[in-house]
């Protein structure tokens, strides 16, 4: 009797786990989240991104093209405290199809990106992030995933004091927050 009872309990336990797994899959299928597709896009982006890391001199030459956008996806507060001159700000958490279409004229537009981890100063507004979580990575992946494939990323670490960076703040420009 004990063996039969344990077998029945074992079958019921397995059924419960399978049922929970099916419910979890059903819940994810009912949400607007596709982690597997994110991983697929990330894997596709990796070699593409590596070929589009550009040194500061090339970054600065590219930004002179009037059809090029410098996109800063840090918070509005960090952007106001300082950014590369000419950059526009769209907070990463605000990325949507509509928002990106409003600021980027075409999917072919050249987009230059940078983040805190491009700066060695480690002071506000460019406090270093955990290397694997640097904002450039999800920004690049998301832009690519939204169909913007002409993206380039600033390579290396620089000082915001370096005149070649051309760092400005809204307060330097007389813009009140």
110-155 pLDDT, tens digit each: 999 999 999 999 999 999 999 999 999 999 999 999 999 999 999 9
**The model's pTM:** 0.79
Give residue-wise pLDDT tens across range 14-43.
344 344 444 445 445 678 999 999 999 999
Strand partners, 38: none
Q: What is the C-alpha separation between 6 and 51, in angstroms, rounded?
A: 59
Q: Confidence band (pLDDT; 50, 70, 90) for 5?
A: very low
Give yes or no for a cis peptide into 125 (omega within 30° of 0). yes
Give residue-wise pLDDT tens across range 66-77.
999 999 999 999
Helix (H/G/I), strand (E/B), else coil: 57: helix
Helix (H/G/I), strand (E/B), else coil: 114: strand
Under a CB-based contact definition with an 8 Å cutoff, are residues 105 and 145 in contact?
Answer: no
What letters, b where the CB count within 10 A reaches 16 and e where it falls short, cover 90-118?
Answer: beeeebeeeebeeebeeeeebbbbbbbbb
Query: Burial level of 53, CB count in 10 A (0-12/13-18/19+)?
Result: middle
């Amino acid at each position: 009797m004990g063996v039969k009872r344990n077998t029945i309990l074992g079958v019921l336990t397995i059924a419960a786990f399978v049922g929970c797994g099916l419910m979890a899959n059903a819940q994810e299928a009912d949400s607007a989240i596709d982690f597997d597709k994110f991983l697929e896009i990330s894997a596709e982006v990796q070699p593409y991104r590596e070929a589009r890391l550009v040194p500061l001199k090339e970054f600065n030459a590219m930004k002179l093209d009037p059809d090029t956008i410098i996109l800063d996806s840090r918070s509005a507060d960090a952007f106001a405290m300082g950014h590369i001159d000419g950059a526009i700000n769209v907070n990463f958490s605000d990325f949507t199809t509509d928002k990106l279409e409003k600021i980027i004229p075409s999917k072919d537009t050249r987009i230059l990106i940078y983040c805190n981890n491009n700066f060695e100063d480690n002071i506000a507004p460019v406090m270093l992030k955990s290397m694997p979580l640097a904002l450039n990575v999800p920004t690049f992946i998301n832009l690519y995933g939204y169909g913007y494939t002409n993206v380039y990323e600033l390579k290396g670490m620089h000082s915001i004091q370096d005149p070649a960076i051309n760092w400005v703040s809204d307060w330097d420009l007389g813009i009140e927050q």
